[in-house]
Structure 1
Amino acid sequence: MRDKVFESLKVGNLSIKNRIAMSPMVTNYCGEDGELTDRYIEYIRERARGGPGLIILEAAYVHPTGKGFRNELGIHKDELISDLKKLTEIVHEEGSKIGIQLYHGGRQTSSDVTGQQVVAPSPIPCPVKQEKPKELTKKEIDEIIDAFAKAAERAKKAGFDLVEIHGAHGYLLNQFLSPYSNKRNDEYGGSFKNRKKFPLEVVKNIRKKVGDNYTVTYRLTSEEFVEGGLTINETKNYAQDLVNEGIDLIHVSGGVYETSHKIIQPFFESEGLYVDNALEIKEAINGEIPVMVVGRLKNPEKLENTIAKGIDMVAVGRGFLADPYFPKKMEEGREEDIRKCIGCNQGCIDRLFAGDSITCLGNPLCGQEYKYNTNKTTTPREVMVIGGGPAGMEAARTAAERGHKVKLYEKENKLGGKFSSVIVPPYKDEFDDLNQYLKKQLEKVGVDIKLGTEVDKDLIENNNVDEIIMATGSTPIKPELPGADRKNVVFAEDVLTGRAEVEGNILVVGAGLVGCETAEYLAEKGFDVQVIEALDQIGADVGSIKPLLLANLNKLNVDISKNTSLKEIKENKVIIEKKGKEQIIEDISTVVLAVGYSENKELLEQLKETNINVQLAGDSVYPRKIIDAIHEGFRAAYNIE
Structure 2
Amino acid sequence: MAATATKHEASDAHPRYPRTFSPLDLGFTRLKNRILMGSMHTGLEDIEGGFERMAAFFSARARGGVGMIITGGIAPNHEGGGGAKLSTPEEAARHSIVTKAVHATDPEVKIIMQILHAGALANTPDCVAPSAIRSRIGRFIPNELDSEGIEKQLADFTNCAMQAKAAGYDGVEIIGSAGYLLSTFLVEKTNQRDDEWGGNFENRMRFPVETVRRTRAAVGDDFILIFRIPAMDMLEEGMSGDEVIQLAKAIEAAGANIISTHFTWHEAQVPTIATMVPRAAFAEVTGRIRKHVSVPMITSNRINMPEVAEEVLAAGHSDLVSMARPMLADADLVNKAFEGREDEINTCIACNQACLDHTFSGKLTSCLVNPRACHETLLEAKPAKVARNLAVVGAGPAGLAFAVEAAERGHQVTIYDAASEIGGQFNLAKRVPGKEEFHETLRYFARMIDKLDISLKLNTRADAEMLAAGGYDEVIIATGIRPRVPDLAGIDHPKAIGYIDAIVGRKPIGRRVAIMGAGGIGFDVATLITHAGPSAAMDIPTFCREWGVDFANHPRGGVSGVKKHINQADREVFLLQRRDSKPGRSLGRTTGWTHRLSLARRGVQVLGGVTYLKIDDAGLHTLIGDEPRLFDVDTVIICAGQEPERTLYDALLARGISAQLIGGAHEAVELDAKRAIAEATELALAL
Query: Do Structure 1 and Structure 2 share a fold, with TM-score over 0.5?
Result: yes
SS in 2 for 1:482: coil
1:516 aligned residue: 523
TM-score if structure 1 supplies the norm length?
Answer: 0.95
Indicate conservation of the 8 Å contact 1:488/1:590, yes or no: yes
- 1:473-512 equivalent positions in 2, closer than 5 A: 473-512=480-519
| Aligned-partner Cα distance in 1 for 2:427–2:271 | 28
Residue 2 of structure 1 aligns to a residue whose secondary structure is: coil
Q: Deviations over 1:303-347 (max 9, x none)?
A: 001111222111111110101110111111111011111111111
State how far apart, in whole Å, the 2-side matches of 1:209 and 1:504 are: 66
**Corresponding residue number in structure 1 for 2:105:** 94
Q: CA deviation at 1:480?
A: 0.7
Separation in 2, partners of 1:284, 1:635:
50
User: For 1:165, which of 171, 174, 180 is the aligned residue?
Assistant: 174
Residue of structure 2 equivalent to 1:106: 119
Q: Distance in 2 between matches of 1:75 and 1:356?
A: 21
Aligned to 2:9: none
The 5 A counterparts of 1:223-238 are 223-238=232-247
Q: Does 1:585 align with 2:631?
A: yes
| SS of structure 1 residue aligned to 2:369 | coil
Deviation sequence 1:411-465 (CA, Å, 0-9, x none): 2222211011111111111112112211221121111111222222211221121
Q: In the alignment, is the contact (CA less than 8 A) between 1:12 and 1:214 conserved in 2?
A: no
**Is residue 574 of structure 2 the alignment partner of residue 530 of structure 1?**
yes
Distance 1:267 1:109 in 2: 27
Question: Within the alignment, does 1:408 sit opposite 2:422 as a pair?
Answer: no
Alignment correspondent of 1:62: 76
Corresponding position: 1:327 with 2:328: no
Counting only pairs closer than 5 Å after superposition, residues 552-631 of structure 1 correspond to structure 2 as 552-586=598-632, 588-623=633-668, 624=670, 625-631=672-678
- Provide, for residues 544-593 of structure 1, a one-character-per-residue CA deviation record: whole Å limited to 9, x for no partner: 2222212221222222222223211011322111121112222x111101
The range that moved more, 502-511 or 246-255, is 502-511
Task: String of CA shifts for 1:445-492, please: whole Å, max 9, x gaps.
Answer: 111111222222211221121112111111111111111111221111
Does the aligned pair in 2 maintain the 1:253–1:274 contact within 8 Å?
no
Partner of 2:160: 151
Select between 348-357 and 411-420 the one with higher mean Cα deviation.
411-420
Aligned to 1:75: 86
Task: For 2:269 and 2:114, locate their aligned partners in 1 and report how far apart those are by CA, in whole Å.
Answer: 19
> What secondary structure is seen at the aligned counterpart in 2 of 1:107?
helix
Query: 1:8 is matched with which residue?
Result: 23
Deviations 1:73-107 (A, max 9, x none): x3222102223223222212232111111121101
1:193-208 counterparts in 2 under 5 A?
193-208=202-217
Say which of 118, 128, 135 aligns to 1:119. 128
Q: Does 1:305 align with 2:311?
A: yes
Cα gap change, 1:260 to 1:207, in 2 (>3 Å): farther
State the Cα deviation string for residues 119-162 of structure 1 (Å, max 9, x = none).
Answer: 11111111112421111121121111111101111111122111
1:180 deviates by 2.6
Deviation at 1:610, TM superposition (A): 4.2
1:105-504 maps to which residues of 2 (within 5 A)?
105-111=118-124, 116-259=125-268, 262=271, 265-285=273-293, 288-310=294-316, 311-504=318-511
- Give the superposition deviation at 1:597: 0.6
Q: Tell me whether 1:22 sits opposite 2:27 in the alignment.
A: no
Q: Classify 1:438/1:32 alpha carbon distance in 2 versus 1 (closer, same or farther; 3 Å).
A: closer
State the SS of the aligned residue for 1:496. helix
| 1:238-284 alpha-carbon deviations (Å, 9 max, x no partner) | 00001111111100111111127556x10121221221111111112
Contact 2:379 2:682 in 1 (8 A): no
CA displacement, residues 355-411 of structure 1 (integer Å, 9 cap, x when unaligned): 111111101111110113323112111111111111011111111111000111112
* Alpha-carbon distance between aligned partners in 1 of 2:188 and 2:231, rounded to the nearest angstrom: 14
In 2, distance between residues paired with 1:123 and 1:395?
Answer: 52
C-alpha distance in 1, partners of 2:631/2:275? Answer: 34
Residue 65 of structure 1, CA deviation: 0.8
Change (3 A) 1:262 1:555: closer
Q: How many pairs align?
A: 628
The runs of 5 or more residues in structure 2 that have no matched partner are: 1-15, 533-568
The answer as to whether partners of 1:11 and 1:249 remain within 8 angstroms in 2 is no
How many Å separate the matches in 1 of 2:399 and 2:50?
35
Q: Using the alignment, how far apart are the partners of 1:62 and 1:130 within structure 2? A: 20
Q: Cα offset for 1:32?
A: 5.2
- Paired with 1:551 and 1:630, the residues of 2 have a C-alpha distance of 29
- Provide the rounded CA distance (Å) in 1 between the counterparts of 2:330 and 2:20: 18
On the 8 A contact 1:300/1:330 being kept in 2, the answer is yes
Q: Secondary structure at the match of 1:163?
A: strand
In the superposition, relative to structure 1, how do residues 189 and 12 fare at CA in structure 2: closer, same or farther (>3 Å)?
A: farther
For the residues of structure 2 that align with 1:84 and 1:180, how far apart are their CA atoms?
A: 36
CA contact (8 A) 1:12 1:215 kept: no
Report the residue type matching 2:618 in the other structure: N
| Separation in 1, partners of 2:377, 2:298 | 31
Q: Report the secondary structure of 1:490's partner residue.
A: strand
1:125–1:131 Cα contact (<8 Å) kept: yes
* Aligned-residue RMSD, C-alpha: 1.7
> How far did 1:12 drift?
4.8
* Runs ≥4 residues deviating over 3 A: 260-263, 609-613
Give, as a single letter, the amino acid of the residue that structure 2 aligns with 1:301.
E
Q: Which amino acid in structure 2 is aligned with residue 9 of structure 1? A: L
Code of the residue aligned with 1:282 in structure 2: it is R
Report the secondary structure of 2:365's partner residue.
coil
Identity over the aligned pairs, expressed in percent? 29
Alpha carbons of 1:7 and 1:56: their partners in 2 closer, same or farther (altered >3 Å)?
Answer: same
Displacement of 1:634 in angstroms is 1.1
The CA distance in 2 between the partners of 1:395 and 1:491, in whole Å, is: 29
2:54·2:98 contact (CA, 8 Å) conserved in 1?
A: no
Q: Distance in 1 between matches of 2:240 and 2:612?
A: 47
